[in-house]
Structure 1
Amino acid sequence: MNQNLSPERVRADVAELLDCDPAEIAPEEDLFDRGLDSVRIMTLVERWRAEGAATLEFADLAERPELGHWTALLTGGAA
């Protein structure tokens, strides 16, 4: 679990890159279908590594591009 990253922070970071309201993103929604691409995933990886998710890899996010999965991965909780 990363204490610097809250579920709200993860949601807000994703929403910022998708240029949408955080509340619009469903936890189980495929973020690639929403317009997320590999460049934006790398942006998130670097941002979250800087916040303490040192072992986070691109594949961790790309293999299952869902907000709920990412939130659980990064914070140890649910979206």
Structure 2
Amino acid sequence: MSPTNPSLSPERVRADVAELLGCDPAEIGSDDDLVDLGLDSVRMMTLVERWRAQGATTLEFPDLAERPELGHWTALLTGSAA
């Protein structure tokens, strides 16, 4: 089952990731490796829990860890490109 959730916008996904990285959302490229930018597994779990609370109830940690790229996460969560 896909974690796609219409209540999560691409802008919200980008802003949530940027908040945990401590940077401006515009600084994150769609294909950037978020682990290389400093996002660790604890922060990924924070995002999983946050996005589950916003309705992405089928989202699991491996969904994010498998491809830690903003574009992939945005497509996974919203069905649209970053």
TM-score range, shorter chain: over 0.9
- The share of aligned pairs that are identical, in percent, is 81
Correspondent of 1:11 among 8, 14, 18: 14
> Partner residue of 2:81?
78
Correspondent of 1:36 among 39, 43, 50: 39
Over the residues paired in the alignment, what is the CA RMSD in angstroms? Answer: 0.5
Structure 1 CA distance, aligned partners of 2:66 and 2:10?
A: 20
Structure 2: which 5+ residue stretches go unaligned? none
> Partner residue of 2:30?
27
* Deviation for aligned residue 1:4: 1.2
Q: Any runs of at least 4 consecutive aligned residues in structure 1 with deviations exceeding 3 A, and if so which?
A: none
Q: Please give the residue correspondences for 1:39-78 in structure 2 after superposition, counting only pairs within 5 Å.
A: 39-78=42-81
Q: Secondary structure at the match of 1:36?
A: coil
Structure 2 CA distance, aligned partners of 1:2 and 1:58?
A: 16
TM-score for the superposition, normalised by structure 2: 0.95
The residue type paired with residue 61 of structure 1 is L
- 1:2 matches 2:13: no
How many residues are treated as equivalent by the alignment? 79
